[in-house]
């Protein structure tokens, strides 16, 4: 029996059609942009299997990614760059990426549900939902779009900056990644404001 306390089902105060879910991926890595997505699902075109992207296999995420793009009323993927992360910090960069994702929807939502407990500074009617990617389908859809997009980008960065293993660990501070950083030094896509990278840059001066 699991010792983790399950959160109760989320009851959304908004009952209309234009409800957007928004989530971000990439707050913890030492490299790469933070990516956010916003999705307005179409209740007439349900998508089976939506769940927290971290709990889905890569194959299932790719399948759902395509279904979301085909069936959603509107979706958008946005980011905050490594430079922006270093300039304004990762929390503010995550909120900025989410703000951009919602703004870029071609249909503007009437209500937004944001994963977590913090929301961007905007004028949208909204609510935050802790662990929302496992409790709200629209947020789960956003988490899938964001994760698949970022994972694909990390494969591309791995080709551009070989030796760090970015395609495997996606920029997270694994043992192998830390060893590669020690041997190769930080690349242009590493976050200079994050402690392990900042320390190596200081030692190189």
Q: Please tell me the distance from the alpha carbon of residue 38 to that of residue 143, in angstroms, as a whole number.
A: 8
**Could you tell me if 142 and 23 are in contact, meaning their C-beta atoms sit under 8 angstroms apart?**
yes
Give CA–CA dist 178/183, Å, rounded. Answer: 9
Determine contact, residues 40/138, Cβ cutoff 8 Å: yes
**Reduced to 3 DSSP states, what percent helix, strand and coil does the chain have, rounded to the nearest 5?**
45, 15, 40
In the structure encoding, which two tokens stand for residue 121, read together?
């500074």
Structure-token pair, residue 151: 């994972």
Name the one residue in this structure whose structure tokens are 């407990």.
Answer: 117
Distance CA 162, CA 67 (A): 32
Distance from chain centroid for Cα 185 = 26
> Does 115 belong to an annotated binding site?
yes
Annotated binding site: 23-24, 115
Annotated binding site for a divalent metal cation: 23-24, 115
């Amino acid at each position: 029996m699991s010792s983790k306390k399950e959160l109760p089902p989320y009851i959304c105060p908004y009952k209309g059609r234009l409800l957007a879910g928004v989530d971000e991926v990439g707050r913890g890595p030492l490299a790469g942009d933070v990516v956010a997505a916003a999705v307005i699902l179409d209740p007439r075109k349900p998508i089976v299997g939506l769940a927290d992207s971290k709990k889905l296999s890569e194959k299932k995420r790719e399948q759902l990614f395509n279904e979301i793009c085909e069936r959603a009323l509107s979706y958008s993927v946005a980011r905050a760059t490594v430079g922006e992360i270093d300039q304004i910090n990762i929390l503010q960069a995550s909120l900025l990426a989410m703000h951009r994702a919602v703004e870029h929807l071609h249909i503007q939502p009437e209500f937004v549900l944001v994963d977590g407990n913090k929301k961007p500074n905007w004028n949208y009617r909204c609510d935050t939902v802790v662990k929302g990617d496992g409790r709200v389908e629209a947020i789960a859809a956003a988490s899938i779009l964001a994760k698949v997009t970022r994972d694909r980008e990390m494969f591309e960065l791995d080709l551009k900056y070989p030796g760090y293993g970015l395609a495997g660990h996606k920029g997270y501070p694994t043992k192998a990644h830390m060893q590669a950083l020690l041997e190769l030094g930080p690349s242009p896509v590493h976050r200079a404001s994050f402690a392990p990278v900042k320390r190596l840059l200081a030692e190189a001066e």
